[in-house]
């Protein structure tokens, strides 16, 4: 019972520490916040005196240096891993180095490889990625770029010293405790930098889950390193075991989950799918992760039961993160082809549950002290870093590093090659090594002498492929940093997390517009009200007032005889299916409509940018023209006088006067059913990917008893509705169709009335 009480006190101490940091990170320190903030920034920028001034304070320099140094360490780790695996096949391969005083020590090489892999390669790259994510979550620059760079170099020097010392002496628990104290000081500076950066977020702005993962992960790292050193000096084995599990489990997994979810959300342009699943990721900090579990010194009785429950709970945040990531990609699978980082993160989401389940069963055996699967557990842990860690490193170097330095990725082809080499190399190493471990277990159980060296040889070949992948990724990253094409596109942390709340102000909107603004399924919609909340106000542009330039633009389209498609394609000079402010300004000038400044063009474009992404797509342009036309018609009806309305360009197929009978019947069904467009759209969108394909359109028309069409007839009908030409119908396109049919019907009714009069 005394042992259990000791463990309870340790866990309570850890939970209280995490809760306090989380509370003050969210609420601040009241009236003392500003004074303490200035003091903390002063310490980061000036300490150590003179040394920190040697480093560049430019925006993004800190994160860049972490990622570049980490990439270098990962290449070194892969080289050491290859040598370690090869020497398990042939221990005499490097005997020639004995002439210079070096002899092969399997335990020492394994220790160095793990240090470089976890703390150098994986740790440093993802720490740098975390700095990028945090600064964009807060919408502000990192609190101290120079200090971040200083800590990065200090971290690398500490790893190098650890390696050099291990060559000449055996690094025991005492030496490791001293290293942990120094690492804790560096991690404390990182945590402070994160907290100060997070403090720059807008007033009332909620903290997104990736930011929480980073804050709590760094907090756990600081506590774990200090507790581990304290546990050694006080001979508290329970404290040492718990702190080791925190350092080797909570910290790397918190970084991995934060980077995975952010990378996918950014690449897909979609908000993280479920806030509830995101919250489930926080269970990581009340569980024992299945990775990095070592044998407990008191594995008996109640402690074994509690540990087994904790390891089981540790599966939930990993499964929740994987599910959330895959669901976020739903309907955005094209980004897997376009963005290598999205491909890497999607592969991580698919493979993480497999590694987690494998680590779970082997961790239970190791924790209970049975030890029969100890070698298997070690292989699964290393496989996690070679595969999951390696893919996240490739994703970071191909997505977040270019974002940090403001340059385009040098070569997507190289990034894809790195992905495939790391994926198959890491998986091949893991599977082959596991086969060797199980074969060795079978030989030992049978009491038969035999060799499994062939498995080690094959595993080393696979890991050599991963090594080549890491070198390609690092070469690509270096080219990106020093010779990549500059880009001035500022990128905030938009789309990676759904806003906590939105306030609707005067005007009209649609569900599609709300989704386009980044709302998720758990976002709270606030209608009216006076209390300020952390929201983004959104109102549809008024249909009664239009800038003169927009009216002249509508008139130009009608007078030129061109349709909306032609003019849109002329203005879309880079053919990316959207018109940005620069293209809009140039287009307005070439058409002779108006000579606009950059600011005027941007303001004008934002006035009818429904999705709020800073660009205009074809449906938005068509909606603008229809609203100008409708506003002109309403003005005629209101004063009873005939006024000259700006002519509006028409979309050529189908014309406003001619619609397929099935489409007219569809509009009539909508009116008679009492349902709105969104309800009908949701019913037809069977797979809930926010678009209707030909199969769904055919099934929908059949279910409404409008028509049973052959596939080729459906495709022809789809083309008459599909404005973007992507072969699918989204909500704005369906809304436009219904609006145009209703307008044509109303115009026909008015014409009939005029003839009777």
Could you read off the pLDDT of 15-31 as tens digits, one per residue? Answer: 788 888 888 877 776 66
CA nearest neighbour of 140 among 199, 83, 64: 199
Q: What is the pLDDT of residue 354?
A: 96
Q: Within 10 Å of residue 486's Cβ, how many Cβ atoms? A: 8
Could you tell me the pLDDT band of residue 655, with boundaries at 50, 70 and 90? very low
Q: What is the pLDDT of residue 732?
A: 73
Contacts of 722 (CB under 8 A, 6+ apart): 728, 729, 733
Q: Residue range 689-718: average pLDDT?
A: 81
Widest distance between CA atoms in the chain = 112
Q: Residue range 339-358: average pLDDT?
A: 94
Look-up of token digits 């490739």: 394
Q: Round to whole Å and give the CA distance between 617 and 320.
A: 34
Contacts of 712 (CB under 8 A, 6+ apart): none
Q: Round to whole Å and give the CA distance between 253 and 213.
A: 9
- C-alpha pair distances (Å), 427 with each of 111, 374, 424, 498: 22, 20, 5, 34
Q: Round to whole Å and give the CA distance between 409 and 431.
A: 32
List the single range of 68-77, 475-484, 588-597 with lowest mean pLDDT. 588-597
What digits encode the pLDDT tens for the residues 139-161? 788 888 888 999 999 999 999 99
CA nearest neighbour of 470 among 27, 95, 125: 125
> Residue 302: helix, strand or coil by DSSP?
helix
| Between 277 and 423, residue with greater pLDDT | 423
CA nearest neighbour of 291 among 323, 347, 348, 253: 253
Contacts of 203 (CB under 8 A, 6+ apart): 534
> For residues 121 and 73, is the Cβ–Cβ distance under 8 A?
yes
Q: What is the pLDDT of residue 496?
A: 39
According to DSSP, the β-strands at 524-527 and 501-504 are parallel
Given CA atoms 458, 463, 467, 472 in this order, what sign does their dihedral have? positive
Task: Count Cα atoms within 13 angstroms, Cβ side, for 253.
Answer: 33
Please check the confidence at residue 539 and state whether its pLDDT lies above 60.
Answer: no
The alpha carbon of 606 is separated from its chain's Cα centroid by a whole number of angstroms, namely: 27
Look-up of token digits 């060296």: 453
Q: What is the pLDDT of residue 181?
A: 92
Task: Count Cα atoms within 13 angstroms, Cβ side, for 454.
Answer: 4
> Residue 243: helix, strand or coil by DSSP?
helix
Q: Residue range 733-739: average pLDDT?
A: 78
> For residues 199 and 28, is the Cβ–Cβ distance under 8 A?
yes
Output the six-digit token pair for 359.
Answer: 């680590």
| Between 23 and 341, residue with greater pLDDT | 341
Could you tell me the pLDDT band of residue 621, with boundaries at 50, 70 and 90? confident
Q: Residue range 193-210: average pLDDT?
A: 82
Q: What is the pLDDT of residue 524?
A: 58
CA nearest neighbour of 206 among 537, 534, 538: 534
Kindly calculate the radius of gyration of the chain based on its CA atoms and give it in whole angstroms.
31
Q: Which CATH superfamily is domain 548-639 in?
A: EF-hand (1.10.238.10)
CATH topology match: 2-95+103-483 vs 661-756: no
List the single range of 23-37, 173-187, 454-468, 505-519 with lowest mean pLDDT. 505-519
Q: What is the pLDDT of residue 649?
A: 39
Could you tell me the pLDDT band of residue 537, with boundaries at 50, 70 and 90? very low
Q: Round to whole Å and give the CA distance between 292 and 302.
A: 21
CA nearest neighbour of 518 among 531, 499, 503, 536: 499
Please, where are the H alpha helices in 269-411?
275-280, 302-313, 315-329, 335-338, 340-367, 374-384, 390-395, 401-405
- Written in H, E and C, the secondary structure of 55-102 is CCCCCCHHHHHHHHHHHHHHHHHHHHHHHHHHHHHCCCCCHHHHHHCC
List the single range of 282-296, 388-402, 478-492 with lowest mean pLDDT. 478-492
Q: Round to whole Å and give the CA distance between 195 and 41.
A: 11
Kindly state the percentage of the chain with pLDDT values over 90. 30
Q: Round to whole Å and give the CA distance between 338 and 493.
A: 20
The alpha carbon of 718 is separated from its chain's Cα centroid by a whole number of angstroms, namely: 34
Q: What is the pTM of this model?
A: 0.67
| Between 624 and 5, residue with greater pLDDT | 624
**Residue 612 backbone dihedrals phi, psi, to 5 degrees:** 75, 20
Q: Round to whole Å and give the CA distance between 127 and 63.
A: 8
Output the six-digit token pair for 355.
Answer: 């590694």
| Between 672 and 726, residue with greater pLDDT | 672
Q: What are the residue boundaries of the structural domains of the chain, listed by start?
A: 2-95+103-483, 498-540, 548-639, 661-756
| Between 539 and 78, residue with greater pLDDT | 78
Q: Round to whole Å and give the CA distance between 23 and 662.
A: 59
**Residue 391 backbone dihedrals phi, psi, to 5 degrees:** -65, -40
CA nearest neighbour of 701 among 690, 716, 687, 714: 714
Q: What is the pLDDT of residue 330?
A: 79
Q: What is the pLDDT of residue 521?
A: 47
Mean pLDDT of the chain: 79
Q: Of all helices (H) and strands (E), which one includes residue 524?
A: strand 524-527
Please check the confidence at residue 9 and state whether its pLDDT lies above 60.
Answer: yes
CATH level 2 (architecture), domain 2-95+103-483: Up-down Bundle (1.20)
* Residue range 661-756 in CATH 1.10.238.10: yes
> Residue 579: helix, strand or coil by DSSP?
strand
CA nearest neighbour of 27 among 193, 187, 201, 216: 201
Output the six-digit token pair for 658.
Answer: 């001619």
Q: What is the pLDDT of residue 430?
A: 96
Please check the confidence at residue 124 and state whether its pLDDT lies above 70.
Answer: yes
Output the six-digit token pair for 710.
Answer: 């052959």
For residue 503, what are the β-bridge partners?
Answer: 526
Please check the confidence at residue 283 and state whether its pLDDT lies above 70.
Answer: yes
Rounded to 10°, the helix 209-233/173-198 angle is 150
The alpha carbon of 679 is separated from its chain's Cα centroid by a whole number of angstroms, namely: 30
Q: Round to whole Å and give the CA distance between 315 and 574.
A: 46
List the single range of 38-47, 266-275, 333-342, 349-358 with lowest mean pLDDT. 38-47
List the single range of 348-362, 448-462, 489-503, 562-576 with lowest mean pLDDT. 489-503
**Residue 627 backbone dihedrals phi, psi, to 5 degrees:** -70, -35
> Residue 709: helix, strand or coil by DSSP?
coil
Could you tell me the pLDDT band of residue 651, with boundaries at 50, 70 and 90? very low
| Between 342 and 681, residue with greater pLDDT | 342
Q: What is the pLDDT of residue 538?
A: 32
Residue 541 DSSP class: P
Q: Round to whole Å and give the CA distance between 665 and 147.
A: 67
For residue 616, what are the β-bridge partners?
Answer: 579
> For residues 721 and 618, is the Cβ–Cβ distance under 8 A?
no
List the single range of 345-349, 475-479, 659-663 with lowest mean pLDDT. 659-663
CA nearest neighbour of 520 among 272, 752, 279: 272
Residue 208 DSSP class: P
Q: Of all helices (H) and strands (E), which one includes residue 695?
A: helix 694-703
Kindly state the percentage of the chain with pLDDT values over 70. 80
> For residues 740 and 650, is the Cβ–Cβ distance under 8 A?
no
Given CA atoms 148, 153, 157, 159 in this order, what sign does their dihedral have? positive
| Between 143 and 749, residue with greater pLDDT | 143
């Amino acid at each position: 019972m005394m042992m259990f009480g000791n463990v309870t006190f340790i866990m309570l101490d850890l939970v209280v520490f995490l809760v306090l940091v989380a509370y003050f990170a969210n609420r601040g320190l009241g009236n003392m916040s500003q004074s303490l903030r200035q003091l903390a920034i002063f310490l980061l920028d000036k300490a150590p005196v003179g040394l920190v001034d040697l480093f560049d304070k430019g925006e993004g320099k800190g994160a860049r240096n972490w990622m570049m140094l980490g990439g270098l360490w990962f290449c070194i780790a892969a080289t050491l891993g290859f040598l370690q695996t090869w020497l398990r096949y042939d221990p005499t391969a490097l005997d020639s180095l004995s002439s210079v005083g070096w002899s092969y020590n399997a335990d020492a090489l394994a220790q160095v490889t793990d240090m470089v892999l976890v703390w150098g390669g994986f740790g440093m790259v993802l720490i740098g990625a975390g700095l990028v994510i945090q600064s964009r979550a807060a919408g502000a620059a990192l609190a101290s770029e120079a200090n971040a760079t200083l800590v990065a170099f200090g971290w690398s020097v500490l790893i190098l010293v650890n390696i050099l010392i291990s060559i000449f002496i055996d690094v025991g628990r005492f030496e490791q405790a001293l290293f942990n104290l120094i690492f804790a000081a560096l991690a404390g500076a990182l945590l402070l930098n994160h907290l100060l950066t997070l403090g720059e977020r807008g007033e009332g702005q909620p903290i997104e889950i990736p930011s929480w993962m980073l804050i709590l992960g760094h907090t756990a790292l600081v506590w774990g390193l200090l507790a581990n050193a304290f546990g050694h000096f006080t001979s508290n084995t329970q404290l040492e075991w718990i702190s080791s599990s925190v350092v080797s489990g909570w910290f790397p997994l918190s970084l991995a989950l934060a980077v995975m979810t952010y990378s996918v959300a950014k690449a897909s342009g979609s908000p993280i799918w479920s806030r509830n699943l995101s919250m489930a990721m926080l269970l990581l900090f009340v569980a024992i992760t299945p990775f990095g579990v070592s044998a407990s010194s008191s594995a008996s009785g109640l402690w074994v039961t509690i540990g087994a429950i904790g390891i089981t709970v540790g599966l939930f945040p990993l499964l929740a993160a994987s599910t959330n990531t895959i669901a976020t990609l739903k309907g955005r699978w094209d980004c897997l082809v376009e963005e290598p980082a999205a491909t890497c993160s999607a592969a991580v989401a698919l493979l993480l549950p497999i590694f987690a389940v494998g680590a779970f069963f082997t961790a239970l055996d190791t924790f209970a002290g049975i030890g029969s699967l100890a070698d298997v557990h070690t292989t699964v842990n290393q496989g996690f870093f070679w595969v999951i860690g390696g893919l996240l490193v490739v994703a970071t170097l191909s997505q977040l590093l270019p974002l940090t330095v403001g340059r385009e990725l040098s070569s997507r082809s190289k990034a894809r090659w790195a992905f495939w080499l790391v994926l198959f190399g890491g998986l091949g190493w893991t599977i082959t090594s596991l086969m060797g471990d199980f074969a060795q277990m079978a030989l030992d159980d049978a009491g038969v002498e035999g060799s499994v060296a062939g498995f080690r040889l094959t595993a080393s070949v696979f890991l050599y492929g991963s090594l080549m992948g890491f070198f390609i990724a690092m070469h690509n990253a270096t080219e990106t940093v020093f010779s990549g094409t500059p880009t001035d596109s500022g990128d905030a942390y938009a789309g990676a997390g759904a806003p906590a709340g939105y306030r609707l102000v005067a005007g009209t909107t649609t569900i599609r517009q709300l989704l386009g603004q980044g709302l998720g399924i758990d976002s709270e919609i606030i209608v009216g009200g006076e209390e300020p909340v952390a929201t983004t106000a959104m109102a549809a542009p008024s249909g009664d007032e239009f800038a003169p330039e927009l009216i002249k633009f509508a008139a130009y389209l009608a007078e030129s005889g061109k349709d909306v498609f032609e003019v849109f394609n002329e203005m879309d000079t880079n053919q990316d299916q959207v018109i940005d402010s620069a293209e809009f300004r140039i287009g307005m000038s070439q058409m002779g409509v108006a000579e606009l400044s950059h600011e005027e063009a941007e303001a004008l474009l934002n006035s009818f940018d429904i999705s709020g992404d800073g660009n205009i797509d074809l449906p938005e342009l068509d909606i603008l023209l229809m609203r100008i036309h409708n506003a002109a018609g309403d003005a005629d009806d209101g004063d009873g006088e005939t006024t000259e309305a700006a002519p509006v360009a028409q979309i050529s197929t189908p014309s406003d006067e001619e619609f397929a009978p099935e489409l007219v019947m569809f509009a009539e069904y909508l009116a008679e059913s009492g349902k709105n467009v969104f309800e009908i759209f949701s019913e037809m969108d069977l797979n809930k990917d926010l678009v209707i394909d030909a199969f769904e359109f055919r099934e929908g028309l059949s279910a409404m008893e409008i028509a049973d069409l052959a596939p080729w007839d459906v495709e022809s009908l789809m083309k008459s509705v599909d404005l973007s030409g992507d072969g699918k119908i989204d909500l704005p396109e369906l809304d436009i169709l219904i609006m145009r049919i209703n307008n044509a019907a109303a115009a026909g009714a008015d014409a009939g009335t005029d003839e009777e009069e």
